[in-house]
Structure 1
Amino acid sequence: MLVPAIVIITAALVFYSIGVWAERIQRTLKWWHAAMFAVGLACDITGTLLMTRLAADQAAAGVAMSGADVLMSWTGTLAIVLMAVHLVWAVVVLARGSEHAKSVFHRFSIVVWAIWLVPYIAGAAGAMMG
């Protein structure tokens, strides 16, 4: 189950990054960017559920969580919440159609993306170390 979880979490990184950086480069929010945010969020939730199940199996086997695991857990939860807020806000901005709101939306996108990288990097570091 670890390999599928890693693949799905990495797919989340790819899809979410495409949406965030394409929106920033194009300097306006478009519906396909929101679609990339949604696919990235879906992948992140799926991968996180798989990782949570693995952690529960390890805990049942008596394996203690590392510091990186704790960091990844807290920041991962925060990242999912922020990604969901980001997606909802993107849909609202697009539905309202304000050109100004579409053109400044990327500021929030970059912040959410950067926060999302913390649990991704923590998870990768933890996997490499242990």
Structure 2
Amino acid sequence: MLLPAIILITLALVFYTIGVWSERAQKTLKPWHTVFFGLGLAADASGTYLMSLIADANRAAGVEPSILNQVMAISGLVALILMAVHFAWAVIVLVRQRENELHSFHRFSVVVWAIWLVPYVTGALGSSLG
């Protein structure tokens, strides 16, 4: 179950990075960016679900999570919520079609992406260090 979780979360990184940095480079929010935000959110939520099953199994076996894994769990939840808010807000901005919002949305995107990297990196480190 670990390999599918890692693949899904890495796909989330790829999708989200494409959406965020393409939007920033083009300096305006477009529908296809929002599709990539949604794909990233779906992949991250699915990978997070699988990771939670692994964590539950480890706890049931008496394995205590490391500090890095605890940081990953908390920051991961925050990041997942931010990704959902980011996706929903992108849809709202696209529906409203206000030029100033379409052109400034990338600032919010980059902040959410940077916050999302915290659980990704701590999760990778936590798994690598055991």
Which TM-score applies when normalising by structure 1? 0.99
Task: Give the equivalent residue in structure 2 for 1:41.
Answer: 41
Structure 1 runs of 4+ with >4 Å offset: none
Any idea what SS the aligned residue of 1:105 has? Answer: helix
Task: Give the equivalent residue in structure 2 for 1:104.
Answer: 104
Q: 1:5-53: CA deviations, max 9, x gaps?
A: 0000000000000000000000000000000000000000000000000
| % identical equivalent positions | 56
Distance 2:3 2:77 in 1: 21
Matches within 5 A, 1:51-130: 51-130=51-130
What is the letter of the counterpart of residue 115 of structure 2?
I
What is the letter of the counterpart of residue 11 of structure 1?
L
Distance 2:62 2:91 in 1: 44
Structure 1 alignment gaps of length 5 or more = none
CA RMSD of aligned residues (A): 0.4
Distance 1:99 1:29 in 2: 10
> Displacement of 1:99 after TM fit?
1.2
Task: Give the equivalent residue in structure 1 for 2:8.
Answer: 8
Distance 1:115 1:106 in 2: 14
Any idea what SS the aligned residue of 2:62 has? Answer: coil
What is the letter of the counterpart of residue 96 of structure 1?
R
Task: Give the equivalent residue in structure 2 for 1:18.
Answer: 18
Structure 2 alignment gaps of length 5 or more = none
